[in-house]
Amino acid sequence: MNDTRTVRKIHLSGSPYEIGRGHGEQGKREIGNSLTTYEALFRGYTGMSWQDACEKALLHHDAISAFRPEYLEEMQGVADGAGVRFEDILALNARSEIALTATPDGCTSFAYLKQGEVWLGQNWDWKSSQIDSLLDIEIGQEGKPSVRMITEGGIIGKIGCNSAGVGVCLNALMTRTWQPKVPIHLGLRAVLDSHTFGEASEAVSDGRMASPAHFLIASKSGEMAGTEVSPVHTAAIPPEDGAVVHTNHICDPRMQEAVSDFPIPDSAPRLNRIKKLMSGLDEKAGAEQMFGVLSDHEHYPDSICRHINPAHPEHMQMETVFSIVMNLTTGSFDYRTGRACEAGAGSRSF
């Protein structure tokens, strides 16, 4: 996949319902692609029909209502704007819980404090068809920071940062663990709706999330932690030498005791590699050097910059769909679609 297409940028504001409605109207094409992709994935991975997936998604309704009822309003707005059902949009937002806890995924993320500047970034490795679902969304909302994120059409929380200098990245964990709690993508949105690192961390603490994942949370204050979430335990991984890095396996010892994971074989080599690369950055490293890290090909094709591996079965074939590098200190927000080694530049400051 060598793709330099422009991701649709949309600006949203108003009430939660109005924000959602704008998302649905302006991102209708991308939402349609997400629905097509995940209907096929759910059936292919689990044999689950779309209606079965929607029924499972509805099991999260009460937990979301207790957590952030405005997210239900926003998802209703998305559905109305796109001309689909509420449960269709809920299923997209619960897509990790419906089937993908049993699905291999590969992403590599980092947070990095150097010369007083806080950097946050990752590769998002997934099905190449989802490049057609990407949206660059900016949200202005009353009483909360403005949010900038790269997401899949219809999903109201993903990877990004906010005007308060709080940012979050995501790594999937393959665990087959689930409870009818808050879907992880809504946990990501709660982080992005937070004014401080402490508020962001608290929002996803205490086993609130419905499935295990890793949220790399950082802020311009210099605070950062790898936050492994799950329905049964939440663990914080502190920085070492000014950096936190993560791939797709559980790292915290207590979390390892609480949750069994089944990581893909390249997760540990990628973690060791990004540790080495981050420690080797010079004092003046900027966004281009960060994208250089994300373009690394050691252990190709199952490298930090992931390429299709024809030796893997079809359901395990994935590649880097986009790369993102954020400077939380200055507010810069840069992303590139396609594989990091050959991708097109995506965007500018927050």
pLDDT of residue 100: 65
| Tens-place pLDDT, residues 201-212 | 999 999 999 999
pLDDT value at 350 more than 50? no
**Residue 235 burial by Cβ neighbours in a 10 Å radius (0-12, 13-18, 19+):** buried
The pLDDT mean for the chain works out to 93
In the block, tokens 């508020």 appear at 199
Lowest mean pLDDT across 32-41, 292-301, 339-348 = 339-348
Considering the entire predicted model, what is its pTM? 0.95
* Token pair listed for 168: 């979050």
pLDDT of residue 153: 98
Q: At residue 2, does pLDDT exceed 60?
A: no
For residue 233, pLDDT over 80 is answered with: yes
Query: What's the pLDDT at 313?
Result: 77
Q: Return the H-helix or E-strand segment holding 11.
A: strand 8-13
Tell me the pLDDT tens digit for each residue of 43-93.
Answer: 888 889 999 999 999 999 999 999 999 999 999 999 999 999 999 999 999
> How many beta carbons lie within 10 A of that of residue 272, not counting itself?
14
**Which structure tokens are listed for 284?**
């003046």
Asked if pLDDT for residue 344 goes beyond 60, the answer is: no
Mean pLDDT of 322-336: 97
Task: Provide the pLDDT confidence category of residue 343 given band limits of 50, 70 and 90.
Answer: low
Confidence at 120, pLDDT banded by 50, 70, 90: very high
Confidence of residue 1 (pLDDT cuts 50, 70, 90): very low
Share of the chain above pLDDT 70, in %: 94
pLDDT at position 332 over 70: yes
Q: Please check whether residue 185 is in contact with residue 98, taking contact to mean a CB–CB distance below 8 angstroms.
A: no
Pair 28, 81: CB distance under 8 Å: yes
Q: Please tell me the distance from the alpha carbon of residue 106 to that of residue 108, in angstroms, as a whole number.
A: 7
Mean pLDDT of 176-180: 93
Residue bearing the bigger pLDDT, 325 or 348: 325
Q: Could you identify the residue written with the tokens 């992880």?
A: 184
- Across 165-169, average pLDDT: 98
Q: Name 318's Cβ contacts closer than 8 Å, sequence gap at least 6.
A: 104, 105, 106, 125, 126, 127, 128, 306, 308
Query: Is 50 exceeded by the pLDDT of residue 3?
Result: no
- Ordered structural domains, the chain, with CATH: 8-99 (1.10.10), 102-337 (3.60.60.10)
Q: What are phi and psi of 348, to 5 degrees?
A: -115, -155
Question: Do 311 and 297 contact (CB within 8 A), yes or no?
Answer: no
Q: Tell me the mean pLDDT in the region 325-334.
A: 97
